[in-house]
Amino acid sequence: MEFMTDPAGIEARSMEIIAPHLTGLQLSPAEVKVYSRMIHASGDPEYAPIIRIHPEAIKAGCQALSAGCNIYCDVEMVRTGINKNRLAEYGGTVQCLIADPEIAAIAQNNGITRSMAAMRQFAGQLDGAIVAIGNAPTALFEVLDIINRTNIRPALIIGVPVGFVGAAESKALLHETAPVPYITVLGNKGGSPIAAATTNALVYMLEK
Amino acid sequence: MEFMTDPAGIEARSMEIIAPHLTGLQLSPAEVKVYSRMIHASGDPEYAPIIRIHPEAIKAGCQALSAGCNIYCDVEMVRTGINKNRLAEYGGTVQCLIADPEIAAIAQNNGITRSMAAMRQFAGQLDGAIVAIGNAPTALFEVLDIINRTNIRPALIIGVPVGFVGAAESKALLHETAPVPYITVLGNKGGSPIAAATTNALVYMLEK
């Protein structure tokens, strides 16, 4: 069986195939890059009409990354998917506490998810940083609650939790009420590769 | 905003919401578990009609896991998503070589993807093991080529690479020609969470 084996060629051809799915959406060149990576990561062009990018999101995210901000994730799969070598060139790191035994104990004692407890623990560190949530609606609800109760303001929230319990609701709340820039996907779809791909799209836009 | 925060409650409610999407598919109880976890991981009920499970796949996978087989992955995100603690109770480990510098050099020298080079390196280790591919069509093509050229026979191939270049073709080849049990998804959709969720569905079926 004949098939492409060259990584750069595969990526270029993928982007060519995705492009027609974005026609009519009136996207900026930077938005096209973000949309394309989200669709590439899901294999699902039906993401195109449900992606929502705040007008300041890409600029704010790139500025924060250039300044060396950290990225705070809900789950390890998001951390794994982010290009940490490229990020490190600007001084940023990727943080995740879901596997921390102390966080597990706090979650258990409070009857909440570990990713929610992790966001509560990060709290002030989220100020000026990027939040990347690819799995847990509860983590996104918690970040929105922190913003609502405090002066903590992430530079950008990449909020694409997935599933049927709270995912659509948490992302609608992000889209409709967040006083900070965001990138999200309406409805039930999302996931760790979508969060990582969105983050990487911004990282790849940076120029040294 | 009111929302569920109890992890067990969230999972139970998710499965209730997914159940109606599986009616009419004539699935066994074990197949329902696999389908449900794949849909849960994607937030996308449109997976239901495109999932393909070989009649021997779940039994073969569970037997191999019970016997302590290893799981060989194409990318680190799949390894990250697999419940390694539960797997370790049976003696199995999760292996991934994509970040190995030697594999990177082999890939570069041969103009192939790193995940393809990694599968070529695993080769004989795949015999009797589980292969879990969530990202790279080239890795799945390589495994099918190894099977075609040799007597190496994985116990089960979980083959759900994603994207627009080779993903649908590699999965169709798996579905139509593989002489070993498989679980796959037709078309462009797939991804690391789908591969990990499918693997975990089998791990959670084991009883000590």
Percent of chain B exceeding pLDDT 90 equals 95
d(CA A146, CA A166): 17
Q: Shortest Cα distance from B191 to chain A (angstroms)?
A: 7
**pLDDT value for B207:** 79
**pLDDT value for A207:** 79
Report if residue A170 sits inside a domain. yes
Question: How large is the ipTM?
Answer: 0.95
d(CA A127, CA A150): 10
**pLDDT value for B7:** 87
Mean per-residue pLDDT, A94-103? 97
Question: Looking at chain A from residue 91 to 110, which residues have their Cβ under 8 Å from any Cβ of chain B?
Answer: 107
Cβ–Cβ gap A5/B193 under 8 Å: no
- For the four alpha carbons of B179, B182, B188 and B191, in that order, the dihedral sign comes to negative
Question: Does pLDDT of B199 surpass 80?
Answer: yes
Asked if B40 has any chain A CB less than 8 Å from its own CB, the reply is: yes
Cβ–Cβ gap B111/A5 under 8 Å: yes
Of A96, A62, A70, A27, nearest in space to A198 by CA: A62
Report if residue B187 sits inside a domain. yes
Say how many domains are in chain B.
1
Q: How confident is the model at residue A208 (pLDDT cuts 50, 70, 90)?
A: low
Q: Indicate the DSSP class of residue B158.
A: E
Report if residue B1 sits inside a domain. no
Q: How confident is the model at residue A27 (pLDDT cuts 50, 70, 90)?
A: very high
d(CA A7, CA A4): 8
Question: Looking at chain A from residue 148 to 177, which residues have their Cβ under 8 Å from any Cβ of chain B?
Answer: 162-167, 169-170, 173
Question: Looking at chain B from residue 121 to 140, which residues have their Cβ under 8 Å from any Cβ of chain A?
Answer: 137-138
Cβ–Cβ gap B167/A43 under 8 Å: yes
A81 neighbors B191 (Cβ within 8 angstroms)? no
Q: How confident is the model at residue A149 (pLDDT cuts 50, 70, 90)?
A: very high
Q: What is the CATH number of the domain that holds A102?
A: 3.40.50.10230
Amino acid at B30: A
Q: Which chain B residues are closer than 8 Å to A10 by Cβ?
A: 113, 138, 163, 165-166
Q: Which residues of B participate in catalysis according to the annotation?
A: 40
Phi/psi at A52 (5° precision) = -130, 120
pLDDT tens for each residue of A66-90: 999 999 999 999 999 999 999 999 9
pLDDT, mean over chain A: 96
H or E element that contains B204:
helix B192-205
- For the four alpha carbons of A141, A146, A149 and A155, in that order, the dihedral sign comes to negative
Domain of A143, in residue numbers: 50-205
Mean per-residue pLDDT, B38-46? 98
Cβ–Cβ gap B6/A111 under 8 Å: yes
Higher pLDDT, A78 or B7: A78
Of A177, A176, A175, nearest in space to A185 by CA: A175
- Strand order, beta sheet including B130-133: B51-53, B182-185, B156-159, B130-133, B71-73, B94-95
Report if residue A167 sits inside a domain. yes
**pLDDT value for B2:** 81
Cβ–Cβ gap B191/A17 under 8 Å: no
Q: How confident is the model at residue B40 (pLDDT cuts 50, 70, 90)?
A: very high
d(CA A141, CA A178): 11
Q: Shortest Cα distance from A141 to chain B (angstroms)?
A: 8
**pLDDT value for A167:** 97
d(CA B114, CA B69): 23
Cβ–Cβ gap A4/B165 under 8 Å: yes
Of B134, B129, B99, B131, nearest in space to B117 by CA: B99
Question: Does pLDDT of B133 surpass 80?
Answer: yes
**pLDDT value for A7:** 87
**pLDDT value for A133:** 98
Q: Shortest Cα distance from B206 to chain A (angstroms)?
A: 23
Question: Does pLDDT of B177 surpass 80?
Answer: yes
Which residue of B lies nearest to A40 if distances are taken between CA atoms? B163
Mutation to test the B interface, candidates A22, A144, A188, most B Cβ within 10 Å = A188
pLDDT tens for each residue of A155-189: 999 999 999 999 999 999 999 999 999 999 999 99
pLDDT tens for each residue of B137-169: 999 999 999 999 999 999 999 999 999 999 999
Question: Does pLDDT of B208 surpass 90?
Answer: no
Q: Which chain B residues are closer than 8 Å to A163 by Cβ?
A: 10, 14, 40, 43
Q: Shortest Cα distance from B40 to chain A (angstroms)?
A: 6
Q: Which chain B residues are closer than 8 Å to A169 by Cβ?
A: 1, 3
Question: Does pLDDT of B117 surpass 70?
Answer: yes
Asked if A76 has any chain B CB less than 8 Å from its own CB, the reply is: yes
